Structure 1
Amino acid sequence: MSVLLGTSGWSCAHWDGVLYPPGMRPGDRLACYVAELAPVELNASHYRWPRDASFASWRRRLAEGFVMTVKAPRGLTHA
């Protein structure tokens, strides 16, 4: 059995100086996250479904074998 440890999202500003170097541009956070952790949950999809172009961009930037789970939209889970 394998266990993957990740977080819900990668854009937390309060991780500056913890996971991310201080002052890192938000657009560079995903690359830094991928270098440290194996999976991530896409939290934004719960609030608003991302554009197809966003999914394509993430796919290009993620390492081979990296796991991204997609949180179900709140309309599905809370309606």
Structure 2
Amino acid sequence: MSRLVELDATGPKKLDESDLDPEKGDIAVCQCGLSGAFPFCDGSHRRTESEDGDACYRYIGGDGSQQPKTVARVVYQDGTTEGVDE
């Protein structure tokens, strides 16, 4: 399974001691791209549990209400296309 993720940051987030969760004592960095607390994990990845391993998804919406849509192909600005299952 894959996911199309749109990000607007222009650099990395550097983590330090102040990023530690006082209750859990750890740092969980988002790897699914859906977290409302990005770059930190907020558990939003649980919405991906039913994803088909052979499909590509784009999550539409905001404020934690993103709904998954399957992607058949990607069309680039120059007019070229790419099928997800190619």
Same fold judged by TM-score > 0.5?
Answer: no
What is the TM-score normalised by the length of structure 2? Answer: 0.21
Structure having the higher Rg: 2
Which of 1 and 2 has higher RCO (CA within 8 Å, sep 6+)?
Answer: 1
Higher helix proportion: 1
Higher strand proportion: 2
